[in-house]
Amino acid sequence: EDKVVQSPLSLVVHEGDTVTLNCSYEVTNFRSLLWYKQEKKAPTFLFMLTSSGIEKKSGRLSSILDKKELFSILNITATQTGDSAVYLCAVLIQGAQKLVFGQGTRLTINP
């Protein structure tokens, strides 16, 4: 069974801190790994990672994939209260083209 596991499930930090969110996976037919941010509504896309070792950056957010160890991390530096959300990791399965989601990490940034 395809599985995506995120850790921690919940994280509370102060504004300005740096956080690292983890995502590990065990799937039969890996295509890509995606990170999403979910606030009150549907998830919004952050990154898609397909190749190992290549860091993707967008402002204060960055992410990298390790296909040998089957995990990815999402880093957020200089956190702001607007970063508070649930961060979802998902793996895109080759062939079926379906996304398998992890449980999510609920990030709370306190002022």
Q: How far is the CB of 88 from another protein (least distance, A)?
A: 6
Separation between Cα atoms, residue 17 and residue 36, nearest integer Å: 20
CB nearer another protein, residue 42 or residue 58? 42
DSSP element (H, E) containing 65: strand 61-66
Q: CB-wise, 17 or 56, nearer to another protein?
A: 56
Give whichever of 2 and 15 is closer to another protein, judged by the CB atom.
Answer: 2
Contacts by 60-69, CB closer than 8 A, 24 or more apart: 63/35, 65/33, 67/30
The least distance separating another protein from the CB of residue 92, rounded to whole angstroms, comes to 7
**Least distance to another protein, CB of residue 110, Å:** 19
Q: Can you say how many angstroms the Cα of residue 51 is from the centroid of all Cα atoms in its chain?
A: 15
d(CA 57, CA 52): 14
Nearer to another protein, 45 or 69 (CB): 45
- Which residues contribute to the site for another protein (CB under 8 A)? 31-32, 41-45, 48, 88, 90, 92, 96-104, 106
- 3-state SS class at 82: helix
